[in-house]
Each structure stands twice: as structure tokens, then as C-alpha cells.
Amino acid sequence: MNVFVEGVGVLGPGLCGWQSSRSILSGTAIYKEAPLAIPPNDLLPAAERRRTGLAVKIALAVGCEAAAQSQRNASELPAIFASSAGEGENMQAIFETLASDAREISPTRFHNSVHNAPSGYWSIATRSMAPSISIACYDASFAAGLIEAATQAFTGNQAVVLMSYDAPYTQPLQAIRPIAAGFGIAMVISGIKTNKSIAELQISIKSSNLISTPVASAELDRLRLGIPAARGLPVLAALAGASIHEINLDYVAGNGVEIRFKPC
């Protein structure tokens, strides 16, 4: 599949948006780890903002950034949400309630715990009535989301927005499934080249074990290995470098995803 990237969003420890992170991702500036800083977002009503967990806030932040950069109306973009974990904090609270004598589940906790909660908040924030898909594929969730987004864009000659995000669990789940930090990547992907296209992606699924491409920075590569959504960092590094690249991502069942880049 050949598709085109029109907008990018990124948020993670020491990575505060695409524009300020490009030089770090391209290797021309030194990465300095810093606490995750989520930019303010007033698209949601105040009551809804108070209910949202970290995963939702990350997804909205990167999705809005990518849509703004693409100069497309976020409300018109079909959306793909990809996360290995979803909202761990609310799940942990529900598990604790179920393990107690008082087992009544808070409706707010429940509706925030489901895997497609970010898509619901996205539709409220952007007033979108476009279709959305929420998927999970363990450590390959970013790759699965990219394949889904590229397939929709390629077959429909349309633009879609991919949001891949993860947030740490609380203990004791974090000890069993450690996720190093909150992290998110978003891309607006189009099936046709436009004057807003910044790169062309040729995406192939290979039925063989490919060696996943690391990030040149050892510190950033630790993020890549410690957070499922950050498996997409080599993609951002290639986009930031603005030159032809070829990278591989781990997928499932012994398969890999090969991506070839060409700047527009």
C-alpha cells in the first residue's frame, strides 16, 4: 500500500509535540528525559475533562495536533484508535471494587474503562460523526493501527487519523504488565498525494521475522522498548529526517511490517 502522511502528533516524556521534537527525532538535538507534560485542551466540556483518564488525554492531544498540522477538519476524519492497554487506572479501580465486600461499580468508572472510551471523547471533543475503530494488539498495537489506517486510506482514497497511545497501569497490574510512561503518536494518512503531504509511505506485511528497527538514540530506544505505542518512534524518526528510509516493525504470528519512506 502506498499512502501519504499529512500531519503528525507526538507526546511523551521529553517529547512535547511534533514541531519541538523533530530535531530530537532526527538526531540533530539531544534527547533530554522530562516528565510527561500534557498540553491544555478545552475542546471537552469541563465535566467531561474531569472524568478523562491519562490515556484519553494523550489520545486527544496527539490527534488534535496531527489534524491541525494537516489543516483538515478533525470532525470529518475517520479515526483509528490503537492501544495495548487502554485505561488502566479505571480498570484497576474496578478490580479493587470487585474484590471488596461492596461490589457496586461506578457507571463513570465503567464507561471510562472500556477500550473505545477515547473514541467517544474524541467524538464529543471534535463533534465528529465519522466512523471510528478501536483496536488492541499487545506490543504490536501501533503496527496494527498503522495497517488499519493505511488500508482505509488506500482503499477509500480518503484521509484518516491514527491515534496510538498507552498509559501506565497502577500497581499491582503495573508489576505484571509494566508500561514505562504515558506516550502517544498520531498521524493523518491520506490515500492520495496532496499539497499537504509530507511523506509517502509504502507499507508491506512480510511473512517472515524481520529485525525491528531501533532508534539511533539509546535513550529514545529505551522508550520504544518500554511503551507499546512508542514502537512507532522509528516511523517518526524517519519522517523527521526528511530522507528516504526503510524500517521494520514487529507484528504478529512471525510477521513483520516493512515501511519505505520518501519525502514529498
Domain membership flag for residue 245: no
Q: Using alpha carbons only, what angle is made at residue 111 by residues 45 and 168, rounded to the nearest 5 degrees?
A: 90
pLDDT given at position 102: 87
252 contacts 206 by C-beta, under 8 angstroms: no
pLDDT given at position 5: 98
Q: State the virtual CA torsion across 192, 158, 213, 256 in degrees, nearest 10.
A: -110
Domain membership flag for residue 200: no
Domain membership flag for residue 102: yes
C-alpha cell at 216: 539511533
Domain membership flag for residue 22: yes
Domain membership flag for residue 217: no
Q: DSSP states of the chain as a string?
A: -EEEEEEEEEEETTEESHHHHHHHHHTSS--------PPP--SS-HHHHHH--HHHHHHHHHHHHHHHHHT--GGGS-EEEE-SS--HHHHHHHHHHHTSS--PPPHHHHHHHSTTHHHHHHHHHHT--S-EEEE--GGGHHHHHHHHHHHHHHHHT-EEEEEEEE-PPPTTHHHHS---S-EEEEEEEESS--TT--EEEEEEEESS-PPPPPPSSHHHHHHHHH-GGGGGHHHHHHHHHTS-EEEEEE-STT-EEEEEEEE-
C-alpha cell at 230: 512508542
Domain membership flag for residue 218: no
State which residues form the domain around 101. 8-194
Number of separate domains in the chain: 1
Domain membership flag for residue 172: yes
pLDDT given at position 93: 85
Question: Cα separation of 145 and 257, whole Å?
Answer: 12
Domain membership flag for residue 222: no
The pTM assigned to this predicted structure is 0.94
Give me the CATH number covering residue 58. Answer: 3.40.47.10
Residue 242 sits at φ, ψ, to 5 deg, of: 55, 40
Question: pLDDT per position in the chain (264 positions), as tens?
Answer: 999 999 999 999 999 999 999 999 999 999 999 999 998 888 888 888 888 889 999 999 999 999 999 999 999 999 999 999 888 888 888 888 999 998 888 888 888 888 899 999 999 999 999 999 999 999 999 999 999 999 999 999 899 999 999 999 888 889 999 999 999 999 999 999 999 999 999 999 998 778 899 999 999 999 999 999 999 999 999 999 977 789 999 999 889 999 999 999
pLDDT given at position 45: 84
pLDDT given at position 244: 77
Closest CA relative to residue 192, chosen from 160, 164, 236, 237: 160
pLDDT given at position 84: 95
pLDDT given at position 103: 87
